[in-house]
Structure 1
Amino acid sequence: MTVAVTGASGQLGRLVVEALLREGVTPVAVVRDPAKVADLAGRGVEVRQATFDDPESLDRAFAGVDRVLLISGNEFGKRVEQHTNVIRAAERAGVELLAYTSIPQADSNPLILAQEHTGTEAALADSTVPYVLLRNGWYWENYTRGLAHAVETGVLYGAAGQGRVSGAARADYADAAAHVLTTEGHAGQVYELGGDAGLTYVELAQSISEAAGKPVRYEDLPQADYAAALEKGGVPAGFAQVLADADNGISNGILEVGSGHLRKLLGRPAAPAVEVFRAALA
């Protein structure tokens, strides 16, 4: 079985490659810049260069491939078109399974972040390639960018109210993807993926405090004020709006996942937030 991983030089992609190697499967790493994965090539991973904007490069990348993991791209505003290029290339290659990293409740999720996932899922539904949806919840690593600031000031800011977020470590989502790619019975499945226990931001602050050994409290802000604070802290204006919108979604339960699918795929509990934060601070 030949498995191709798109975006294999990215944070999630590399972890999936490592998980596949642990499963005894040597994947095809599909990347824009092969130089970024020279270390993987040195370990026997086949590297193929392709971009989502170049269908011919995707045809070459998927030649002889049985299964594909499409890790959602990062060029906002272009992703539906780019992902559709991948889907069509998978069709032409006769791929037996395409797994796509989406977002929880993508068919009804109102978040700004969800819209291109919704469009991609629609493109998959219109395709002939067998597919499985990996609707990844929030990564605990999403909070590590501001971790040092929260520890230094003793305050975690957000706009999530009392909502809960069912996060998990990026490595756990990678392990789940590797399991789906190397086992049977997943075509047509929709996996709503998230950690075992949803945390409020008050509890997130407590996890940061435990990891750092210093008191950290949560301060809830109106959505517009939080976006302004992010922008003041150096986050680009457009992305600050996206993050504030995500927090507002959390306040409404959009990123609370109670399916148990991640634990089932992993065969174990997901890593708690405090472990991710402790590792980041170390």
Structure 2
Amino acid sequence: MTKFAVTGASGALGRLVIDELAKSEAPQTVRALVRSPEKAADLAARGIEVVRGDYDAPETLAAALAGVDRLLLVSSSEVGKRAPQHAAVIEAAKAAGVELLAYTSILHADSSPMLLANEHKATEALLADYPGTVVLLRNGWYFENYFGDVAAALAHGAVAGASGEGRISAAARADYAAAAAAVLRDPPAFSTTYELAGDNAFTRAELAAEIARQSGKPVSFASMSEADFSALLVQAGLPEGFAGVVADADAAAGKGALHDDSRTLSRLTGRPTETLASAVARALAAQG
């Protein structure tokens, strides 16, 4: 019986991957690695095996990965700490003899100009000599990344950004989770890289227009320089360093860093990715 494991399983993406696996796999074959098991009591209640597997506590990882056949390493959310955290998981997976390791990287990681891509590149380099099968799931942007734009648009009548006319191939977090689960269930025979992105790209101006259409309120796109957008994010409450990373990513999107028209994601999942209209409707519903 194949044993599956998912790191960061109490996070948004990890939980969705667990949900997808649970549709086809017996719950006892799915192991959820979490920093704080008490925060995943709901998963345990469903029969999922919940264990402590902390990126920052390598001593927890050996036992957490013992007996695992296929592992999804969900990239850490702690920008700036990711490379050593991922290295700890990779070393533990090697020691445990994990046959397949799938990693959630970033779209076109090898050529992306984004600051955010650096730690993903470092992790991919660590995986280059992994003794088992490696699947790089190079995820594009999540629609959920733009839910804040919807809230701001309703409050201020504008969507701000530094992406200009750059087209963004976003998809729902659930789409990426379904792809990860599909790879764990039916892995490729050899190490493989998948560039994963939404079926239909859009610009931030088109996002603003869709918010306006569905909300019935005037919403425009405020195109800004990277520096001005970063300053706006700081004004909105983001730490200066993180604001710079976000603004850098948006500016890179303006140069095509978040665009991909291969439709590899929908082929992996066997379904079309979420549309912009559907994502905006979800975001508006979340506003209440």
What TM-score range do you get, normalising by the shorter chain?
over 0.9
Q: Which residue of 2 aligns with 1:44?
A: 47
> Secondary structure of 1:146's partner?
helix
The 5 Å alignment of 1:22-101 reads 22-26=23-27, 27-101=30-104
The 5 Å alignment of 1:1-282 reads 1-26=2-27, 27-185=30-188, 187-282=190-285
Q: Structure 2, unaligned stretches of length 5 or more?
A: none
1:128: Cα distance to partner?
1.7
- Residue by residue, what CA displacement relative to the aligned partner does 1:26-68 show, whole Å, maximum 9, x if unpaired? 2100000011110110010000102112222111001111100
TM-score, scaled to structure 1: 0.97
Cα distance change, pair 100–186 in 1 and its aligned pair in 2 (3 A): farther
Q: Distance in 2 between matches of 1:62 and 1:157?
A: 43
1:25: Cα distance to partner?
4.2
Q: Structure 1, unaligned stretches of length 5 or more?
A: none
For 1:121, the aligned partner's letter is E
> Which moves more between the two structures, 145-154 or 128-137?
145-154
Cα distance change, pair 119–45 in 1 and its aligned pair in 2 (3 A): same
Q: Where in structure 1 do 4 or more consecutive aligned residues deviate above 3 Å?
A: none
- Residue by residue, what CA displacement relative to the aligned partner does 1:164-210 show, whole Å, maximum 9, x if unpaired? 11000000000110001001325411100000111111111122223
- Residue by residue, what CA displacement relative to the aligned partner does 1:71-112 show, whole Å, maximum 9, x if unpaired? 000222221111111111111111110000000111121211
> Which moves more between the two structures, 123-132 or 180-189?
180-189
1:275: Cα distance to partner?
1.2
Q: Is the 8 A contact 1:169 1:273 kept in 2?
A: no
> Secondary structure of 2:116's partner?
helix
Cα distance change, pair 104–12 in 1 and its aligned pair in 2 (3 A): same
For 2:15, the aligned partner's letter is R
Q: Is the 8 A contact 2:149 2:160 kept in 1?
A: no
1:257: Cα distance to partner?
1.0
Q: Is the 8 A contact 1:19 1:175 kept in 2?
A: yes
Q: Is the 8 A contact 2:205 2:220 kept in 1?
A: yes
Q: Give RMSD over aligned pairs.
A: 1.2
> Which moves more between the two structures, 219-228 or 24-33?
24-33
Q: Is the 8 A contact 2:137 2:194 kept in 1?
A: yes
Q: Distance in 2 between matches of 1:3 and 1:216?
A: 45
> Which moves more between the two structures, 131-140 or 88-97?
88-97
Q: Is the 8 A contact 1:97 1:187 kept in 2?
A: no
Cα distance change, pair 210–24 in 1 and its aligned pair in 2 (3 A): farther
Q: Distance in 2 between matches of 1:115 and 1:277?
A: 30
- Residue by residue, what CA displacement relative to the aligned partner does 1:204-226 show, whole Å, maximum 9, x if unpaired? 11222233232321110011001
> Secondary structure of 2:148's partner?
coil
For 1:145, the aligned partner's letter is G
